[in-house]
Amino acid sequence: MRYVGMQTQISRNNRMTLLLLLMFPLIILGVVWAFFALLNYFGNGYYDQYGELVHQFNAETVNVYFVNAVPWVIGVVGIWFLIAYFFNASMVRAATGARPLSRKENPRVYNIVENLTMAAGMDMPMINIVDDPQLNAFASGIDRKSYTVTVTTGLLRLLDDDELAGVLGHELTHIRNHDTKLLITSIVFVGIVSTVMSIIVQMIYNMMWFGGGGHVVSSDDDNDNRGSGIAVVLVLIIGYVLCAIAYLFTALTRFAISRKREYMADAGGAELCGNPLALASALRKISGDPGLQGVKRDDVAQLFIIHPQKLSAGGAMSMLSSLFSTHPDTKKRIEILEQF
């Protein structure tokens, strides 16, 4: 199997990373504008001569509030991203329970990685290990200082040297192709969206159980109840809008991180180890028990060589998840490797 198109894949991933960096602030700002627009629409209402509630929308007022909020939104998102960007390695370690693996503890892994990096003409990444009986491996990092290959203890026990070389070659190819930079960018963005969703859910909970709170009670009980009802509906609408946008963004980023990157990494790993059948055998073994017991986050699972299906949503969401899956079918990957 000849690995081709590396520079093309690197350029593509760099462009995609830049696109995500530009697209995400636009989506966040769009959500903020929609928030003010909905608040203005439902907050500016009056009852006509027939007793019907009529809503009014003042675009000029919305734009004024939006312009004033833009610096704050950009500042908060920017600070969040910088923190996550520079501390992504520790965040991934915390999410997976990984720890550094010393050469003394496992010279076998170090020897294999060193041989592969010399063959690829690349720098030696850090090596981490997760004490977990399940089988998986992943690459992470955004630059030479943070590039890391992580394996599980279960993987080291069940794979022979040739199979392990194929898996490690696969992960090193992700680093060569800058796939990890793209994936970490996606994880950072998804984390921001998840936090916003959590805040919205908490707002809805507070509105439903404690009411608006903090406002002066009107003498007109009917108008007060009506206003409270509108406020609850408004928060629910905003919550649904934000959740829908958040899910759409997640789906788009997963779709953007094309399945082709896994096929390319398989090809690169097979070339580096010189044995496509060994990588196919490793994938077959990993597919029998993939995952990490302590990892519950689907965004982090995007890094794994095989995505644990148990982390995917169920029902209709499962169908959508399969459409935007970042990992191709494992059987298909094995079949392609076995053709060479």
**Which of 159, 239, 229 lies closest to 204 in space, CA to CA?**
239
Contacts 24+ apart (CB under 8 A), 73-80: 73/28, 73/29, 73/32, 74/25, 74/29, 77/24, 77/25, 77/28, 77/192, 80/188, 80/192
**Which of 278, 271, 283 lies closest to 120 in space, CA to CA?**
271
Rounded Cα–Cα distance for residues 94 and 84 (Å): 13
C-alpha dihedral (159, 290, 86, 32), degrees to nearest 10:
160
**Which of 148, 35, 36 lies closest to 89 in space, CA to CA?**
148
Among 60, 114, 163, 171, the one annotated catalytic: 171
Tokens of 225: 């109840």
Rounded Cα–Cα distance for residues 230 and 54 (Å): 13
> Residues 303, 136: contact at Cβ < 8 Å?
no
Q: Is 335 a catalytic residue?
A: no
> Residues 139, 179: contact at Cβ < 8 Å?
yes
Rounded Cα–Cα distance for residues 212 and 87 (Å): 38
State the amino acid at position 300 in one-letter form.
V
Just list the catalytic residues: 171
